[in-house]
Structure 1
Amino acid sequence: MSNIDGNDLSSVISENKRYFDEHIRCLSEREVAWLQVYLTKKIGVSFMSMGSTNLHEELINQLARTDNFYAVMHEAFLKMSYALVPEEYFSLLEGSLRARIFFLNFLISEYNYTLESIKISRIMKDIYHYFDKVKEKTTINNNIRFLNNILFIFRDIVSKDNYTKWLKNEEGQLVWTTTYLNEKKLIVSANDDRLSEMELTAIILASLDLIDCPKYTEIIKSSYLYKVSPNKELVIDKMKRAWSQQKYRDAGKTKKPYHLPLTKKTEGRLAKMAQVQGLSETAMLDILINRFYEMEYVDVDGKDLY
């Protein structure tokens, strides 16, 4: 790459910038970032502020003074078309924070993808980086297959879960569930100071999705069929029971006195159950009635059947 001196410099810069406005400004930041890395390796141009928020201007400012600008960019575009997985294959991730959190943590746990920290705001960039840099030596078709297989298991897990509709932002359930999963060392990490309800919900759901998540080697088998593990079923059941107990503890002060005659045998069993669970007999009875009601008298969406 050669630089231009003399009277033609101004016209060349102007012509190059016109080309940039027509053909490069429409590129995504992901594509411009890839071009920066490629051009650094290919022609030795230096991008001193790589990672800045104005990648497009940085690119043109570095290349506008070269006389073979068109040839350089033509070759770069050609190489990029064979290197980057098209954006359309990432559409599910772009539209779902839950999917992004699941996907990134799958890469970290399954493929030792190392990151200094996980930030909600840049998860998509970290996923792109994995495909654009870490896996750049593989073919696009292999990367697409890899991407689709992980998304397949994510969709399968979500379609079979029994906790998405259970999780509601009521009575502090989001905060309680986050604390519960953190104590069980099941919550995924996110180094963000303040999280919205939507972000916290996505973190919780993705954390539950990842419990006993199948290995990639299992996913690619033709005979593969996802089934919720007994351990995961137990974890979810215990979590729901613990939340029910917490709700009834918190609601204890608002209960109305109600006399319900029971046989001595039933009274004894109720007292023993309450003692084991560390609850009052009233709270224990509330849990039993409501749990049976939810099992037999409501549909899968939580609506009354009768």
Structure 2
Amino acid sequence: MSTYEIGYNDIQKAIQIINEVPRHLEEISNYKVNLNKYIDDINFIEWCYSYLQKNKMDYISIYYVLIIPNNTKEKSIYIKTLLNLHYIEDDKEKFKYIHILNKIKKAWQTKCFRDEAKTKHKYHLPITQKAKDNLKKLAAFKKLTEGALLSELIGEAFLKEMCDENGKIIY
């Protein structure tokens, strides 16, 4: 792990910031806008680290010692540290911190949505208008999309018709 040293002129500022860290961490933990939902996901950590590298946050002053991460755990610490430093740095403008977190979360959710869409294929199945109307009503009743309902019904019919009671294919 590589580190950077703090210059002699910045030592007093660094000490002041370090002494304020517990208060800032308490404030950060009270915000509903955080990455706790994602930060334990290895895929998110790797993606977020790359995202932060590509979208350099130039508006964060680097007075601090930062690690250059070598593995996923260090990348997680790096992400948390960088975002927390931004929160501490902009003490008067917390909305920027919230904006950055929301931007990261939206970018991640967009990536996940696009990745998921790559596994789905659209098919055209000719069905009667009456069947289409019934599908629409049944989907609304079950609070599912028509595609999700069709997938569910096909799965159930497959298990019933093609599998034994243990779920093993018999035909």
| TM-score normalised by L of structure 1 | 0.30
Q: TM-score, normalised by structure 2?
A: 0.49
Which structure has more RCO (C-alpha within 8 Å, separation ≥ 6)?
2
